[in-house]
Homo-oligomer: A and B are copies of this chain.
Amino acid sequence: MGEFELIRHYFAAASCAQVGEGVALGIGDDCALLDLPAGEQLAVSTDTLVSGVHFPDSADPFLLGQRALGVSVSDLAAMGATPIGFTLALTLPTAEPTWLQAFAAGLDQMARQCALSLIGGDTTRGPLSLTLTVFGRVPRGLALTRTGAQIGDLLCVGGDLGAAAGALPLVLGQRQAAAEIAEPLLARYWSPQPQLALGQALRGKATAALDISDGLLADCGHIAAASGVALMVEQARLPLSAALLALLGEDAARHCALSGGDDYRLAFTLPAEHLAELQAAGWSLHVIGRAEAGHGVQLLDHRGQCITPPARGYQHFGNPSD
């Protein structure tokens, strides 16, 4: 058995490769087979992460596995889908057992957290890169797309913003911070938490949604363009993480929240009548603006005047959509 064949057996034995709900046939044949309940649709998304482009060459393999899967599953959350499984195409220069064990453990941890199974993949020799394809299910007609925002809808996000972008100088070893500041920021970078339950709760309520990967303003631009509306973002209402404020101060923290990317929070438009209902159900939603007639994204100051958003400025690794 060759070195790469050993790796395949190694991954096939991982707990995330145990056949889960909706998986009729997992790893080991020409294809995996998935069952889909009647009345549901399959949601599919593919992301590639390249070493030196999307993560540092020296990235901790456990954290890399965790992050790679979290980032991909976030696309399922953005559609309101329930995860089923994923495939992993792993390209490696060499099969290094310590690295692989840690990588698989990180992947496994995120897979268990999000309740999805490794259903297949491919292992090849070459420069380090990962392509994950994730599969979920969503009731027919209830998937959250980017196209339905209506004039008058509230613009909301599912949690505080900017922490992952603020963590980048720490990730790259360019900056130090006290543990109580560094740890929550690094956790947001390395262990993105796909907002799966929130996405599912928004089915039939939110009119448009996506997960923030490119930065709030850029991603709101995708909703605005797809829906044919303008989105007004009120700068004063941006939720900023306490650790980020402590590290950078308010101006730079706001910059990270607007343009930094890698948040993997949901951003969505919501008819106002659903807000109280969702809040009563315990969802901590942040209303940051509204949809109006027009196009594009406008940033508003505390008097409601348009201001020019800051250019995307912090050093960053590209996110998987680059």
Tally of contact residues, A, Cβ under 8 A: 63
Kindly list chain B residues whose C-beta atoms are within 8 Å of the C-beta of A38. 38
Give the contact stretch, choosing among A132-140, A252-260, A269-277.
Answer: A132-140
Query: In the complex, are the beta carbons of A35 and B140 less than 8 A apart?
Result: yes
Kindly list chain B residues whose C-beta atoms are within 8 Å of the C-beta of A78. 30-31
When chains A and B are docked, how far (Å) is the Cα of A79 from the Cα of B28? Answer: 12
Would you give the shortest CB distance from A93 to chain B, in whole angstroms?
11
Query: In the complex, are the beta carbons of A127 and B124 less than 8 A apart?
Result: no
Q: Mark A117-138, 1 if CB is under 8 A from B, else 0.
A: 0011110111101010101101
Q: Mark A9-45, 1 if CB is under 8 A from B, else 0.
A: 0000000000000001100111111111010011111
Kindly list chain B residues whose C-beta atoms are within 8 Å of the C-beta of A24. 41, 140
Q: Mark A133-175, 1 if CB is under 8 A from B, else 0.
A: 1011010100101110000000000000000000000000000
Interface of A is mostly: strand
Kindly list chain B residues whose C-beta atoms are within 8 Å of the C-beta of A44. 31-34, 87, 119-120, 133, 135
Q: Is A46 an interface residue (CB 8 A)?
A: yes
In the complex where A34-B41, A79-B30 touch, is A126 in contact with B129 (Cβ < 8 A)?
yes
Kindly list chain B residues whose C-beta atoms are within 8 Å of the C-beta of A91. 48, 50, 129
When chains A and B are docked, how far (Å) is the Cα of A53 from the Cα of B126? Answer: 7
Query: In the complex, are the beta carbons of A54 and B87 less than 8 A apart?
Result: no
Q: Is A228 an interface residue (CB 8 A)?
A: no
Would you give the shortest CB distance from A267 to chain B, in whole angstroms?
11
Centre residue among A49, A133, A209 by max chain B CB count within 10 A: A133
Q: Is A233 an interface residue (CB 8 A)?
A: no
Query: In the complex, are the beta carbons of B33 and A45 less than 8 A apart?
Result: no
Kindly list chain B residues whose C-beta atoms are within 8 Å of the C-beta of A88. 46
When chains A and B are docked, how far (Å) is the Cα of A48 from the Cα of B127? Answer: 12
Kindly list chain B residues whose C-beta atoms are within 8 Å of the C-beta of A81. 31
Q: Is A100 an interface residue (CB 8 A)?
A: no
Kindly list chain B residues whose C-beta atoms are within 8 Å of the C-beta of A234. none
Residue from B28, B33, B131 within 8 A of A41 (CB atoms): B33
When chains A and B are docked, how far (Å) is the Cα of A98 from the Cα of B138? Answer: 39
Query: In the complex, are the beta carbons of A46 and B120 less than 8 A apart?
Result: yes
Would you give the shortest CB distance from A223 to chain B, in whole angstroms?
10
Q: Is A4 an interface residue (CB 8 A)?
A: yes
When chains A and B are docked, how far (Å) is the Cα of A182 from the Cα of B201? Answer: 60
Residue in B closest to A74 when the chains form the complex, CB atoms: B30
Give the contact stretch, choosing among A184-192, A243-251, A287-295, A314-322.
Answer: A314-322
Kindly list chain B residues whose C-beta atoms are within 8 Å of the C-beta of A76. 30-31
* Closest A-B pairs by Cβ, 4 of them: A50-B126, A30-B78, A131-B131, A31-B43
Q: What are 10 A-B pairs with beta-carbon distances under 8 A? A: A4-B322, A24-B140, A28-B146, A29-B146, A35-B42, A46-B133, A50-B124, A50-B127, A125-B318, A126-B127
Interface residues of A (CB under 8 A from B): 4, 24-25, 28-36, 38, 41-54, 75-76, 78-79, 81, 87-89, 91, 119-122, 124-127, 129, 131, 133, 135-136, 138, 140, 143, 145-147, 209-211, 226, 318, 320-322
